[in-house]
């Protein structure tokens, strides 16, 4: 009987912890037709996994919301947390060759630093 009371107390505590999970909302800051609002279908529809989105934008937004929901499970808050987000292209400079590592005697460079070369 005493053991049953302990189990009930533990379950009650766990349920109250779950009830304190934070609500997180993704605020879509993308413009029409881009990022989270991209109307194009996914290139490989069979790679969607459990994501119910039908466009690239929906897939992206659902992924961000799923990550926010997971974070919310770990946080204790009764205040809704709004996260402003954009899904933008990253600027990338094209280099013809990338070399990772360093020479045996390269003074002034930390070991393992990446060196970028253009030719």
- Portion of the chain with pLDDT greater than 90, in percent: 43
Region 48-54 average pLDDT:
83
Residue 76 has pLDDT above 60, yes or no: yes
Give whole-number Cα distances, 106 to 99, 116, 119, in Å: 14, 15, 21
- Hey, CA dihedral for 92, 39, 25, 31, is it positive or negative? positive
Instruction: Look at residues 51, 31, 52, 54 and name the one whose alpha carbon lies nearest to residue 42.
Output: 54
**Lookup result for tokens 């390269």:** 106
More confident residue, 43 or 60: 60
Q: Which pLDDT score, from 0 to 100, does residue 20 have?
A: 74
* SS3 (DSSP) at 40: coil
């Amino acid at each position: 009987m005493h053991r049953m009371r302990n189990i009930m107390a533990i379950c009650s505590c766990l349920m109250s912890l779950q009830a304190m999970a934070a609500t997180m909302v993704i605020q879509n800051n993308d413009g029409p037709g881009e990022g989270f609002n991209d109307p194009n279908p996914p290139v490989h529809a069979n790679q969607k996994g459990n994501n119910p989105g039908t466009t690239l934008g929906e897939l992206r937004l659902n992924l961000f919301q799923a990550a926010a929901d997971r974070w919310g499970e770990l946080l204790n808050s009764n205040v809704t947390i709004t996260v402003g987000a954009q899904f933008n292209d990253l600027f990338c400079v094209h280099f013809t060759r990338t070399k990772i590592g360093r020479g045996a005697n390269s003074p002034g460079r930390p070991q393992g630093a990446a060196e970028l070369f253009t030719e």
